[in-house]
Amino acid sequence: TTRETQRRTKKKPDTTPAESSYSPHPFTDSSAHWSSRSCQIQTLYVSFRDLEWHDWIIAPNGYDAFYCSGECNFPLNAHMNATNHAIVQTLVHLMNPSQVPKPCCAPTKLSPISVLYFLDESNVILKKYKNMVVKSCGCH
Amino acid sequence: GLYVDNGVDRTEMARALTSSERREVEHEILSLLGLPNRPPRAPPGSAAPQFLLDVYKSLLDAPRDDLNLSGRDLSAINESDVIMSFASRSEAHQSGLRHERGRRLWFDVSEVPIGERIVSAELRLFQSESTTPQRATVSVYQLVADGTREKALMLVDSAAAGPTGGWLVLNVTGPLNSWVAFPDSNLGLYLSVHLPDKPAHEIHPEDIGIVISKGSDASRQPFMVAFFQSSGHRTTHSR
């Protein structure tokens, strides 16, 4: 038992730097470390130029997509909206943390973008995407 | 890369994405935009992309004077969810025509999104400044099968062409509606030009400076543009 404990103790420093340098994937890792902050809008710029799609997507060069991230803890920032349901859900969550989840940090206002791209070698399409840019976030 | 706020009003790159993560993000964006495949590289400088680029610029906030939209009603552009341009493929389907002086235009409309309502469609023809100052009537006909090997002509729209040149715009909403509803009925359009003093005598479109041939300036070749409104029913492509 003592040897086992020593082995574990020795191994610990080796694993710590790797863990501390870990940065979660913004799309797939829901337990991202920045989500511990309160619900707010985060910057996500999608650059068609950096993706080397500019010979295909004529305009724009990219767009500010943004996304919502963070926890819905009250009181929220003054600018942050929360639905009545989110407030009630928070209270119920505090009473039953294991059964009732917290409200979700999600977009409250979205705006469109237009994208101009080649369909094939000659035909072109200009398409309006209605809910592409997050303008504000809130708790639902 | 993956950028995070460092807490003192500065954004720093935490780490670069791996190639597999980058591919995954690319696929996410493609899926979000509804683009299943990257098309082959397009020839630069053709007229249709330039027209839609002008439309795109008109949708941006700042008003611009350098846009060549030929007096188009901008409210119609703002109301459209999808605007598509179609380059003329006049080399396709050339057989079965008795008319020799007119020109036939054919457009591949198979990529028209399903479930979108067609608001309008325009045929845009460029007329170079003519050396012979004469007026003419440009008519566009829809080619329809009449059950025999010959094809019938159905008048769609006409426009007056003058010696000053520029873009001629003809309404071809009807033919596009029928081509989308019945793809096999797409036999193309027939372009006919008459002088006002000789209505029975048909002349070549090139005689009054209308650009038709493939070899000429790509930015002035004929194309069709169609305006669509979303029906609300979304079709998604599988990845």
Is the Cβ–Cβ distance between A67 and A134 less than 8 Å? yes
Spatial CB neighbours of B56, under 8 Å, sequence gap ≥ 6:
A58, A59, A114, A116, A126
Rounded CA gap, B140 and B147, in Å?
22
pLDDT recorded at residue B92? 52
The answer to whether B54 faces chain A, any CB pair under 8 Å, is no
Q: Is B21 on the interface with A (CB under 8 A)?
A: yes
Q: What's the rounded Cα separation, in Å, for the pair B224 and B155? A: 17
Residue identified by tokens 């130029």 is A49
Of B45-54, B113-122, B219-228, give the lowest mean pLDDT range.
Answer: B45-54
Q: Does B152 touch chain A (CB under 8 A)?
A: no
Q: Residue A67: CB partners within 8 Å, gap ≥ 6?
A: A26, A41, A42, A44, A134
Residue B67 forms beta bridges with which residues?
none
Asked if A69 contacts A35 with a C-beta cutoff of 8 angstroms, the reply is yes
Q: Is the dihedral of CA A116, B89, B76, B181 positive or negative?
A: negative
**Is 90 exceeded by the pLDDT of residue B157?**
yes
- Interface contacts (A, B; CB < 8 Å): 100
> Are B201 and B117 spatial neighbours (Cβ–Cβ below 8 Å)?
no
**Per-residue pLDDT band at A58 (split at 50, 70, 90):** confident
Q: Is the ipTM of this complex over 0.85?
A: no
Of residues A51, A123, A128, nearest to B111 (C-beta): A123
Per-residue pLDDT tens digits for A18-37: 334 444 555 555 444 444 57
Side-chain-facing half-sphere of B56: CA atoms under 13 Å: 23
Report CA torsion sign: A83, A86, A87, A89: positive
Q: What is the pLDDT of residue A26?
A: 52
Q: What percent of chain B has pLDDT over 90?
A: 25
Question: Is residue B133's pLDDT more than 90?
Answer: no
- pLDDT given at position B76: 67
**A36 interfacial to chain B (CB closer than 8 Å):** no
- Bridge partner residues of B171 (DSSP): B122
Work out the average pLDDT over B98-107: 76
- Rounded CA separation B25/A28 (Å): 10
Closest-CA distance, A96 to chain B, in angstroms, reads: 32
- Across chain B, what does the average pLDDT equal? 79
pLDDT of residue A123: 83
Convert the pLDDT of each residue in A4-15 to its tens digit: 444 444 444 443
pLDDT band with cut points at 50, 70 and 90 for residue A100 = confident
Query: Which residue, B35, B230, B236, is CA-closest to A128?
Result: B230
Whether B41 contacts chain A with CB within 8 A = yes
Q: What percent of chain A has pLDDT over 90?
A: 4
DSSP B145-203: E-SSSSEEEEEEEEEEE-TT-EEEEEE-HHHHHHHHH-GGG---EEEEEEETTEEEEEE
pLDDT at position B121 over 90: yes
pLDDT for the residue numbered A15: 38
pLDDT at B82 over 70: yes
| Pairwise CB contact (< 8 Å): A126 & B56 | yes
pLDDT of B74: 65
In this complex, do A121 and B40 lie within 8 Å of one another by their Cβ atoms?
A: yes
Helices (H), chain A: 2-20, 84-95
Residues belonging to chain B: 239
Contact A123 B26 (CB under 8 A): no
Q: Mean of the pLDDT values across residues B80-94?
A: 77
Residues of A within 8 A of B41 (CB-CB) are 55-56, 121
For residues A51-73, give the mean pLDDT. Answer: 84
The neighbour count for residue B206, using CB atoms within 10 Å, is 14
Q: Does A31 touch chain B (CB under 8 A)?
A: no
CA distance B124 to B120: 13
- Do B188 and B176 contact (CB within 8 A), yes or no? no
CA distances in angstroms from B186 to B15, B103, B145, B227, listed in the order given: 53, 16, 9, 19
